[in-house]
Amino acid sequence: MCKDCGCTIAGQEYHHHHDEHEHGIVHDHDHPHDNMLWSASHQAAHETLHHNPQLNDAKTISVIKKILDKNDHEASHNRAHFDQHKVLGINLMSSPGSGKTTLLENLADMVDFKFAVVEGDLETSRDADRLKAKGINAVQIQTGSACHLDAFMVHKGLHDISLDDIDVCFVENVGNLVCPASYDVGTHLNIVLVSVPEGEDKIAKYPVMFRSADLILITKTDLLPYFDYDIEKEKMEARKLKPNVDILEVNIKDKQSLQNVIDWINFKRKMR
């Protein structure tokens, strides 16, 4: 798991503190270590431990359980912030280059709601700069060696966003089809992108990620004529993992495909 891929969350220290946000929210953090309800992503990570012989020992499991417990507790705080301000939080996840930032850039020209973005990358602020150039309020989180965002990083990013001024907050996670699926960042929904050039095997090879999806976007469908990619087969693979998952095809050049994404988000906003 993250022990082997460079993540540094285990080295973080968390403690009780009184926290007041720019957007006026005051709360205390206790971060209890035990007896917390696990999120679905937490449970998936726990199951992964027991299938990995390198990590399947009592001390390692105990340490990672405490890390995920703390993360889940902070994620609940983030969700409470969103709920108090009637903001829908959406976690965008995919491998690098699937089109997360490009999707947001194009949605900015079409949406009938206001949104901001917490942007995660190991290094540089290039994606956040792209979004800012489109007039989008974007906050860059540089994770260093960590291959995912966690709830604490997102919490920090929310300090720089006025939740009173937006309807939706996107968390654009680090490009990675593994670790982001195991960390609840405090959003309400997960959208997972997978692009045609990545090939047909991604959904089957990375089941934890796609089981966590509320919506799967198959992107860059304008390239279908140039790749051996059976899109209906991929939809079937996704629904084997999660029968009720929503799936949309996206082509940035096709405005209707983007409108379908906007309509899905607006439907979820109304359902809250």
User: CB of 214 within 8 A of CB of 189?
Assistant: yes
Partnered with residue 215 across adjacent β-strands are 191, 246
State residue 24's pLDDT score: 43
pLDDT digits 0-9 by tens, 124-146 = 999 999 999 999 999 999 988 78
pLDDT digits 0-9 by tens, 217-227 = 999 999 999 99
Count the neighbouring beta carbons within 10 Å of the beta carbon of residue 224: 15
Count the neighbouring beta carbons within 10 Å of the beta carbon of residue 81: 21
Count the neighbouring beta carbons within 10 Å of the beta carbon of residue 158: 26
Domains of the chain by start residue, with CATH: 73-271 (3.40.50.300)
Give the span between the Cα atoms of 208 and 185, in whole angstroms. 16
pTM summary value: 0.80
User: CB of 92 within 8 A of CB of 149?
Assistant: no
pLDDT digits 0-9 by tens, 185-200 = 999 999 999 999 999 9
Does the pLDDT of residue 98 top 80, yes or no? yes
Angle, to 10 degrees, between the axis of helix 126-133 and the axis of helix 100-107?
A: 10
Give the span between the Cα atoms of 67 and 74, in whole angstroms. 11
Tell me, what amino acid is at 196?
Answer: V
Least confident of 16-30, 59-73, 103-117, 142-156: 16-30
- The Cα-based distances of 55 to 35, 44, 113, 180, 229 in angstroms read 22, 15, 44, 18, 35
The tokens for 4 are 């082997």
Degrees, nearest 5: CA angle 177-233-196: 50
